[in-house]
């Protein structure tokens, strides 16, 4: 059984220290790292503690053998495409309980028409971890703002819309924001 703790933790924007501190009782970042990499056995107790710390169902932290995985053929970097040094696979992203999506109808910023953006809902105590990330912010009367979260102070968040020449928007702390965690794009 392979765990997906690192994948879920990074999707949520948490560091090893963040997860360790959110565990009840708290633990060390080193312990979380060992559980992620499999150098320490992931017991049911640890699985439940970490799932609560990440705010997900414990099943989302497991990659079951019958899941389809895609083999990685090469790595692309600034020098071009290269062969792997060890075998790697990619598993399809999981849908979190409170996840929402944004469908891109017209190209704007880095997003193209037809893109799907999967967003993880965050509460005000988690906004700091979303700085410099693209977020969806609910507004009154069923409206929304989408842009880069550039700051938060005095009970307000500052958002930079993705449109060229757009002005910074300030929103009194909304009940939740959706942080972009997956981009689905058909080429």
Structural domain including 28 reads 2-91
Model pLDDT, residue 134:
96
Is 3 in a helix, a strand, or coil?
Answer: strand
**Are 117 and 82 found together in one domain?**
no
Is 5 in a helix, a strand, or coil?
Answer: helix
The CATH number of the domain where 38 resides is what? 1.10.260.40
**Are 132 and 82 found together in one domain?**
no
Residue-wise pLDDT tens digits, 60-106 = 888 665 656 777 788 888 888 888 888 887 777 777 778 899 999 99
Mark which of 91, 124, 143 sits at the end of a domain: 91
**Are 26 and 74 found together in one domain?**
yes
Long-range contacts of 61-65 (CB under 8 A, 24+ apart): 61/3, 61/4, 61/5, 61/8, 62/1, 62/2, 62/3, 62/4, 63/1, 63/2, 63/3, 63/4, 63/91, 64/1, 65/1
**Are 128 and 162 found together in one domain?**
yes
Neighbours of 73 (CB within 10 A): 9
Q: Which one, of 144, 145, 148, 138, lies nearest residue 180 by Cα? A: 148
**Are 146 and 80 found together in one domain?**
no
Neighbours of 153 (CB within 10 A): 8
Neighbours of 162 (CB within 10 A): 14
Is 169 in a helix, a strand, or coil?
Answer: strand
**Are 80 and 135 found together in one domain?**
no
Model pLDDT, residue 77:
84
Model pLDDT, residue 40:
87
Model pLDDT, residue 58:
82
**Are 11 and 82 found together in one domain?**
yes
Mark which of 48, 64, 91 sits at the end of a domain: 91
Model pLDDT, residue 137:
94
Q: How many domains does the chain have?
A: 2
Full-prediction pTM beyond 0.75? no
The CATH number of the domain where 166 resides is what? 2.10.109.10
Low-confidence ranges of the chain (pLDDT < 70): 1, 63-68
What is the overall mean pLDDT for the chain?
A: 88
């Amino acid at each position: 059984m392979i765990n997906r703790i690192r994948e879920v933790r990074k999707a949520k924007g948490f560091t090893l220290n963040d997860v360790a501190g959110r565990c009840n009782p708290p633990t060390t970042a080193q312990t979380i790292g060992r559980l992620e990499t499999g150098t320490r056995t992931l017991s049911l107790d640890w699985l439940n503690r970490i799932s609560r710390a990440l705010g997900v169902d414990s099943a989302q932290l497991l990659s079951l053998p019958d899941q389809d995985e895609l083999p990685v053929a090469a790595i692309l970097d600034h020098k071009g495409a290269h062969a792997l040094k060890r075998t790697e696979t990619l598993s399809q992203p999981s849908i979190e309980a409170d996840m929402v999506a944004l469908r891109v109808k017209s190209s704007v910023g880095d997003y193209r028409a037809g893109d799907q953006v999967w967003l993880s809902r965050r509460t005000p105590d988690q906004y700091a971890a979303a700085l410099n990330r693209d977020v969806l912010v609910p507004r009154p009367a069923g409206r929304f703002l989408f842009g880069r979260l550039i700051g938060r102070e005095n009970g307000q968040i500052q958002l930079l819309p993705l449109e060229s020449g757009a002005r910074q928007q300030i929103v009194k702390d909304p009940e939740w924001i959706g942080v972009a965690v997956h981009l689905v794009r058909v080429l």
